[in-house]
Amino acid sequence: MLRIMEEKAADNSTTLRLDGRVAGQWVGLLRTTCDRIFQNDGRLILDLGGVSFADLDGVQLLRQLQQQVTFINSSPFLQEQIKQTTGNRSVSQ
């Protein structure tokens, strides 16, 4: 299961706090949520502190999103998963 909590800020940014697994059907839910925010031309921040697991599809989505969003509170393990698939780009903590 993946819980997505959306927080809007005065600077037109939106933070999505993720809690659970970025896997299976939840990957599509995260993609749809991000796409909706992108349509509103706001800045997107993903708080990955509550992510306990990401499957291959989840990691691939995060890899795609890293060009458009800011990641915060990512675990070292998740950072390494993304780094291994992105040519050693780092993910900020």
CATH of residue 18's domain is: 3.30.750.24
Span 43-72, mean pLDDT?
95
How confident is residue 87, by pLDDT bands cut at 50, 70 and 90? very low
How confident is residue 90, by pLDDT bands cut at 50, 70 and 90? very low
Give the C-alpha distances (Å, rounded to integers) separating 83 from 4, 16, 89.
23, 21, 5
Domain that holds residue 76: 2-84
Instruction: Say if 93 falls within a structural domain.
Output: no
Span 39-43, mean pLDDT?
82
Q: How many domains does the chain have?
A: 1
Span 27-53, mean pLDDT?
93
The whole-chain average pLDDT of the chain stands at 89
pLDDT digits (tens, 9 = 90+) for 63-85: 999 989 999 999 999 999 988 86
Instruction: Say if 70 falls within a structural domain.
Output: yes
Instruction: Say if 43 falls within a structural domain.
Output: yes
